[in-house]
Amino acid sequence: MTAQVLRERYARSFVQFSRYSSLIGWGLVAAYVVQIVGAIAFGAWLLSGTPGTLEAVAIPLAMLFIGSRLRGLNNIVHECSHASLVQDREDNARIGKFCASLTLGSFLTYRREHLSHHKHVGDYEHDLDLQGIERLGLHDPLTPAVVLRHLVTPLVLRHLPFYLSVDLSLTDGRLVQIFKLLLIGLVLVATITAPLTTILFVIFPYVVVFTALNYWADCLDHAGLFPSEDDLFASRNVLAPKWLAWLLFPRNDQYHLVHHLFPNVPARHLPNVHSSLLGDAVYRVADNAVSKGNVAPGQEEGVAAR
């Protein structure tokens, strides 16, 4: 398997990449929370004025932004599930539980399901991450009709039964459960006192935008690529412009193939790993790894040989 070849060649080199300190890790979490709260406050300010062109454009953008920041928190949960965000393993769990609670999920459940995904990617019997969404057909070959179906699925809310999940169990501990119940209580109070603001900038971004982004991300990551016996061809990178990656692929989530090849590399180093792998013909000739337009100088010959 070519994925195994790449791992044997580079695993020792990539193990040196450092993780954040716990202080910086919590600071990243705080930054996302501040962005979400700030965007909600901005949305409330927009609603306080006279409706106009500014509001018509800014309100949907604010909802998209809030959903993307919730996805950023979810991606921190992902990093913590691999114990790759901060140096201390227990702090990875603490940060993961806190971020998961902000989206009403369970860190320990996510970690169990996600690690099975890495071990059995695309195997619906054992891949607990994708098992629950088998009916959405991510395994279908990508024809124009299938791509259109994936685009439309969240727009008609067909994805909601599979992607909207509220976990109020004791899985992550009593304190986490109480915190989630308090969050729900806070949202209920806000819905009574400021219904339009809460619906537009809390409920809708969480229920619709966040889940839609998660579905589309799964499609970009894996749609049409599995089942595959080789991990090199079961995931893809999405080499988006930096501004778009910051908005829609927080925490370098666009390098999903790189992550599957080297899951313990901290997310902040994934661009460097991708750049290093471009020097290897086994990697750079894979269409799901890199497009011709993104090949590093001096590597065109390897691509042409494809």
Instruction: Give me the amino acid identity at 263.
Output: P
Share of the chain above pLDDT 70, in %: 95
Q: Which two tokens stand for residue 39?
A: 């965007």
- Give the DSSP letter string of 229-271: SSGGGS--B----HHHHHHHSTTTTTBHHHHHHSTTS-GGGHH
State yes or no: pLDDT of 300 exceeds 50.
no
Q: What are phi and psi of 251, to 5 degrees?
A: 65, 40
Predicted confidence at residue 229, as pLDDT, reads 85
Least confident range of 19-33, 49-63, 71-85, 104-118 = 49-63
Q: Which two tokens stand for residue 66?
A: 């809030």
Predicted confidence at residue 297, as pLDDT, reads 37
Least confident range of 25-39, 48-62, 105-119 = 48-62
Predicted confidence at residue 51, as pLDDT, reads 84
- Residue of 5, 66, 38, 28 whose CA lies nearest to 200: 66
State yes or no: pLDDT of 274 exceeds 80.
yes
d(CA 224, CA 217): 13
3-state secondary structure at position 16:
coil
- pLDDT (mean) for 285-293: 74
pLDDT in tens, 184-233: 999 999 999 999 999 999 999 999 999 999 999 999 999 999 888 899 99
d(CA 33, CA 15): 30
State yes or no: pLDDT of 18 exceeds 60.
yes
Does the bond joining 227 to the residue before it have cis omega, within 30 degrees of 0? Answer: yes
pLDDT in tens, 121-165: 989 999 999 988 999 999 999 999 999 999 999 999 999 999 999
State yes or no: pLDDT of 299 exceeds 90.
no
- pLDDT (mean) for 72-82: 98
Predicted confidence at residue 15, as pLDDT, reads 87
Domain ranges of the chain: 18-150+166-203
- Please state, rounded to an integer, the average pLDDT across all residues of the chain: 92
Predicted confidence at residue 291, as pLDDT, reads 56
Give how far the C-alpha of residue 194 lies from the chain's centroid of Cα atoms, to the nearest Å.
30
CA-angle at 223, arms to 219 and 228, nearest 5°: 145
**DSSP category for residue 86:** B
Least confident range of 74-78, 224-228, 254-258 = 224-228
Share of the chain above pLDDT 90, in %: 85
State yes or no: pLDDT of 303 exceeds 50.
no
**DSSP category for residue 298:** T
